Amino acid sequence: MRLPVALQSLFIQIAALALAALTVRLLPALAGYQPTLWQFAFIQGALAGGLSLLWRQPRWWLPLHAGFLPAALVALHVDIAAWVYLLGFVLLGGFFWTTFRTRVPLYLSDRKAWDAVAAQLPSDRPFRFIDLGSGLGGLLLDLEKRFPQGEFTGVELAPASWAISRLRAALSGSRVRFLRQDYAALDLSGYDAVFAFLSPAAMPALWQQVCAQMRPGSSFMSLSFAAGDRAPDAVVTLAPHPRHRLYVWWT
């Protein structure tokens, strides 16, 4: 079974640290050269980046691995108050604390995606719409303005994202409901349209939930990531890149 990316990254950093330590120890004997602490950090970063590629992690992990130890050394040499680190930890935890379990990072959709979703919704009758992993709530707040007859619900597990979406709704006088809970515990049968912008890791289980719960005549939309072994009934291309697509299934 493939490990979560967070665990992969921990093992990569530890392995790169061990390999870098071995390299630094062998270099004086083999080349007559003793690397400095900073050179050791960059060697470890290069090894971590290489291991990330070998493990076929997403490409954006490479610079994170390469820069982690050098950034840690910079932080040690800069006089920053301890509360700044605590604040950073709390803020990051508020947005990403569930990513380790769900393997779903914070993805934000844009107006092109909102327009594509809006084109799939009925303009002549009431409907119930739910966004699974609603992030900062931008999609739902936009759709509510376009479809006053719609009933909109967002589900978000990360506390900071959920709090921001609730605040945005309150300040704008929106009727959108934002729930802080796991969408896997919901019953999707009460919704006419379900939207998700999650990650490839989450799609197999979500597809099973969709097939088991959604009633005939409803629709399931996934931004960027296809689901299940059934071909989508419609694919809306938002940009040339394959990831910029909206997949639509009618149940």
Answer for the pair 54, 19: CB distance below 8 angstroms, yes or no.
no
Task: In whole angstroms, give the CA distance from residue 163 to residue 159.
Answer: 6
Global pTM value: 0.69
Q: What share of the chain is helix, strand, coil (3-state, %, to 5)?
A: 55, 15, 35
Cα distance between residue 105 and residue 111, in whole Å: 20
All residue ranges of the chain with pLDDT < 70 are 1-6, 85, 88-107, 241-243
Q: Which fold has domain 111-250?
A: Rossmann fold (3.40.50)
Report pLDDT for 93: 59
pLDDT at 29: 84
pLDDT one-digit tens code per residue, 170-193: 999 999 999 999 898 999 999 999
d(Cα 31, Cα 247) in Å, to the nearest integer?
Answer: 56
Is residue 168 within 8 Å of 136, Cβ to Cβ? yes
At residue 79, the pLDDT reads 76
Q: Where are the domains of the chain?
A: 5-79, 111-250
